[in-house]
Amino acid sequence: MTPPRVVVLDYGSGNLRSAERALARAGADVSVTADLDAALECDGLVVPGVGAFAACMTGLRGIGGEKVIGRRVELGRPVLGICVGMQILFTAGVEHGVRADGCGVWPGVVERLAAPVLPHMGWNTVTAPPDSALFAGVPDGTRFYFVHSYALRMRDAAPLLRAGARITVTEHGEPFAAAVEAGVVSATQFHPEKSGDAGAAVLSNWLETL
């Protein structure tokens, strides 16, 4: 069986090499590149991201990455966002009172969590819907590694749920979206590449959908 061709999009943000290694271990033929033709034509596109929402969007637009993501969605080609790479798929993000437009793949605004301690850093359990593809076979109570202060708060998730998305939930101060699956686009707020065997299982499940 030919391994799926996966591109980790290099737009100046994200744990590129750790994501590359984790995907390779999960069975992908993976490359890290800013080449938009490769990003469009591959079996699966991974969009990483760390740091500030606005800065990630600036970097993404700098290479035309938002257009490739939109085109892949139009063509029905899978995309996986990780951490801020998940956040930028939404309509917008608000940090320090400043609103920045996202890719607009999904409805929703990413905001600062209402939690006594931020960032949310460390291992946390998640609650996945029974029909989740990403978490198929992952036992309840499994922990994943998070490091972030912003997320889609579940109180703001109604439009996404109405659109038919499957949302996996975590709580830190308040419930928020730990992962989203909607059509060909999936994303995780946690870092699967830093989540050991649990993260490897999620990546393997995603590869099986390609």
Catalytic residues: 83, 191, 193
Q: Which pair of structure tokens corresponds to residue 78? A: 């899978």
User: Hey, CA dihedral for 168, 125, 203, 93, is it positive or negative?
Assistant: positive
Please give the Cα distance from 187 to 89 (Å, whole number): 9
Please give the Cα distance from 200 to 64 (Å, whole number): 29
Please give the Cα distance from 116 to 169 (Å, whole number): 19
Query: b or e along 83-117 (b: 16 or more beta carbons within 10 Å of the residue's beta carbon)?
Result: bbbbbbbbbbbebeeeebebbebbbbbbbbbeeee
Q: Which pair of structure tokens corresponds to residue 124? A: 């946390």
Q: Which pair of structure tokens corresponds to residue 23? A: 């995907």
